[in-house]
Structure 1
Amino acid sequence: MIKFTTVRHPYGRLVSAYKDKIVFPSNHLEKELRNKVKLVYEDTSFVSFIKYVIDENQDSDDPNRHWRPFSNYTGCSNILDYYLKIETFTDDIKGLETIIQHKFLAYSTKTNPSKQQKVDGVKIKTTADYMNELSDELKDKLFQVFKYDFLLFGYDPNVFP
């Protein structure tokens, strides 16, 4: 049996989580999360969200799966044979199909609708735009949380999706 997973650039993943869970919450739990970030960090800015992510990953045994490092799922007890990167999904899925000698019937590469929405009436911001809001100290702390994702999956912390 082949064990595989899908991964994503850590910073692109965090921007996506921020927009989906904090800026445009779609259910009661996400609204509670937004309120929790606001209560602890005084606002719901990207900077506050990143502080929340760092603190939760350092202080919790079970951080939210949307911002828990993928590397936490791998290791001696869960060795993967293959991983697919969201950024190169179409090519990666073809590689997996070759390895398992089976063609998947269907798969989707659709974009989440929140990616197309403006934030605060401003143009659609890129991952680089969001990352530029962070201080160097905060970027360093964030990198430490996701260091093994960068190393294991070959992502560059200085190149944003």
Structure 2
Amino acid sequence: MTRFIIVRHPFERLLSAYRDKLEHRKGKMYYYERYGRQIVSLYRKRSPNSLTVLMQPREPTFVEFVRYIVERRHFDEHWRPYHTECSPCTLQYQYILKTESLDSEEGYLVQALGLQNLSSFHKASSHRIHNVNPSGRTGSQQAQQYYSQVPPDLVKKLYEIYANDFEMFNYTATEYFNVTSR
């Protein structure tokens, strides 16, 4: 049996989950009710000025979300570390594909497994329908913009939670440590 896993940079994956599930609540009430409301109540400072309260977003900010992950360690399958979600050490995947280079790696996997003649698989992989975030793809540059708002000590703690994923899949967090707020 052939096993493969598709992985993503841990910090980009976390940000993508935030953007897809919690940012701009419209149409995302399930995640707001399940996580967002609690995150806001835990980390949002209440202001006696009613105008300030009205101007604040109702959904959690990215910094509040990161603080929740670090302090509460309450994970959903969309942001749970791979090493706990997919058991890469136990399952011993033969192929590890990275989202950042999936187009070329997917072609390699199809070739390696001799699946290029299976018309339905080939058609699906050639015309892959992505589960696209309506806010757009979360890439490195955009991630750096969000992480620039996060205090350095919080990024360090977040890294510690995902350290096994960084190491197992050969990712680095240097660029994120360099852009964190001072």
Q: If the length of structure 1 is used for normalisation, what is the TM-score?
A: 0.82
Name the amino acid aligned to 2:93: L
1:74 paired with 2:95, answer no
Aligned ranges 1:41-52 → 2 under 5 Å? 41-42=43-44, 44-52=60-68
Out of 148, 158, 167, the position equivalent to 1:151 is 167
Distance 1:158 1:5 in 2: 24
**Is the partner of 1:139 in helix, strand or coil?**
helix
Say which one has the larger Rg.
2
Q: Which moved more, 1:140-149 or 1:36-45?
A: 36-45
Count of residue pairs brought into register by the alignment: 148
Identity of aligned residues (%): 28
Q: If the length of structure 2 is used for normalisation, what is the TM-score?
A: 0.73
Counterpart contact for 2:22–2:28, Cα < 8 Å? no
CA RMSD after TM alignment: 2.1
Aligned ranges 1:89-128 → 2 under 5 Å? 89-103=102-116, 104-105=121-122, 106-107=124-125, 108=128, 110=130, 111-115=132-136, 126-128=142-144
Structure 2 alignment gaps of length 5 or more? 45-58, 177-182
Name the amino acid aligned to 1:67: W
**Is the partner of 2:136 in helix, strand or coil?**
helix
1:65 paired with 2:77, answer yes
Name the amino acid aligned to 2:6: T
- What's the counterpart of residue 4 of structure 1? 4
- Rate the CA distance shift 1:15–1:145 in 2: closer, same or farther, 3 A: same
Distance 2:172 2:42 in 1: 31
Distance 1:27 1:134 in 2: 24
**Is the partner of 1:23 in helix, strand or coil?**
coil
